[in-house]
Chains A and B, each alone.
Chain A
């Protein structure tokens, strides 16, 4: 196997009530690569990414069919421990959502809920993660200030750092720059490119240029279906499907 698969989806259907919102999605996400999901609003890309850490469990009336394998194990198996799944598959949301606590407490949260008590360990881990998230220099003197005092871009990098603290294997980014200015967006993109050496990354974006800039592979979705999936470069230069070409050239969406 030259393809090092981290996550594979096999014929995944997703029902919201009685509406089928994802139709037979099959897709392989490779280890330590950036995979982008693109498509117009309502295409199901956010729904799909939220299946990967079972965030859709919270949605009443939601039902999943098919299999999603993480390192070969079905994450929807009845015996799967959702808590440990979510520690392996972290998530960064569309709107920065730090807790209304201090920067330090935000970062320590993932560790203390896991039962870590060693203060020195927590502090080292926090500093490590802040450095990885390129936020350390901006906040090192005010770790005990409220996180909501930070700018939007800083808050989002804090959320990324908070996610890194628990050492996930996969990081899901659900339109991480949708509410940010261009400069903050660029910082987030640079960060994603740095993180891919260590983590498997899946990013949802409706900004096609962003997908082209950060991803190795791109999946184009439309109305709950996976239309085309492949190398980002190939998708953006010689798409096989007519629909992909039309979307990328701005004919709809």
Chain B
């Protein structure tokens, strides 16, 4: 952030001291308008953070993070939900990363420029626009019922993975295309095959960009509720999942359940805010990781 704020001195200040001309006025109004928009957007971000932190912080304790819910979810902790979210997210990435990367490599490096391939590209882009509840229904019909995985970590991970796929493909494609042509030429001119060039020059150079895209999608997937509603999540488990066929608690669904069911709204609301704070922290931590990776990439590859 710090490097993006060039100082507004020199010709600008000199101009302002002179008589105000019409163009200066337009300029000033423009700045004011844009500034107001940013302030407005930041206001909402700030408010969300403020509410979640103020209301959630009292619920947070070591016990909250490490123990199972007790007394019809009015006391105790959310540890199984944290663990469940972790497994679901990990499973989604384990499924979507190799698949997405392979698709991106094919689309950028191997696919011929035909109408069919354009349709494929368009379809992938459209996949990103499908409402998550529809993915949830699809996951239920296919993974839970047809494949017989049941309501489980596996079904949920696959559903979330499909949701993350378009984002991962798009980010990987972008990262791969950003690799300078000169690196590829250097490799080919030394007698490398196309695949050697991809595996040893293109992918290593684009890895930070790919990881950034993956991590941002991880954040999105971790907070997803609708997609796991029918495929993985359960209202309450006594302990921790013991296999990929276990149903699990997950933070987003836990929040939903606390706010819509049960008979002790007040103590449940506190736990819901506490869970929100944990979820938010997880997602922000993951995004921070993405930013750090991107900065490191810029340092290594210039620009």
Which residues of A are in contact with B by a Cβ distance under 8 Å?
A: 53, 55, 58, 60, 83-84, 86-87, 90-91, 93, 95, 97-101, 109-110, 113-114, 146, 148, 159, 162-163, 166
Contact = CB atoms under 8 A, between A and B. Distances in A.
Contact of B196 (A53, A113, A162, A163): A113
B221 to A, nearest CB: 30
A162 B190 contact: yes
Given A99-B186, A113-B191, A166-B190, 9 more contacts: A55-B185, A55-B189, A58-B184, A91-B185, A93-B182, A100-B183, A109-B190, A110-B190, A113-B190
B10 interface: no
B46 to A, nearest CB: 39
Interface on chain B toward A: helix, strand, loop, or mixed SS? helix
A99 B302 contact: no
A100 B300 contact: yes
A93 B185 contact: yes
B187 interface: yes
Contacts, number: 67
Interface in B170-213: 180, 182-193, 196, 200-201, 204-205
Nearest to B197: A113
9 contacts: A55-B185, A58-B185, A86-B188, A86-B189, A93-B189, A97-B182, A99-B201, A101-B204, A113-B191
Question: Among A97, A146, A159, which residue has the most Cβ atoms of chain B within 10 A?
Answer: A97
A46 B300 CA distance: 31
B113 interface: yes
B182 A166 contact: no
Given A84-B191, A114-B191, A166-B191, A97 B183 contact: yes
B301 interface: yes
B197 to A, nearest CB: 9
3 smallest A-B Cβ distances: which pairs? A87-B191, A97-B182, A91-B189
B188 A87 contact: no
A100 B209 CA distance: 15
A111 to B, nearest CB: 9
A113 B190 CA distance: 9
Contact of A93 (B186, B191, B205, B302): B186
B192 A113 contact: yes
B200 A109 contact: yes
Nearest to B190: A110
B188 A58 contact: yes
Interface string B268-290: 00000000000000000000000
Nearest to B192: A113
Question: Among B180, B183, B186, B300, which residue has the most Cβ atoms of chain A within 10 A?
Answer: B186
Contact of A86 (B183, B190, B200, B302): B190
B180 A83 contact: no
Contacts of B186: 93, 97-99, 159, 162
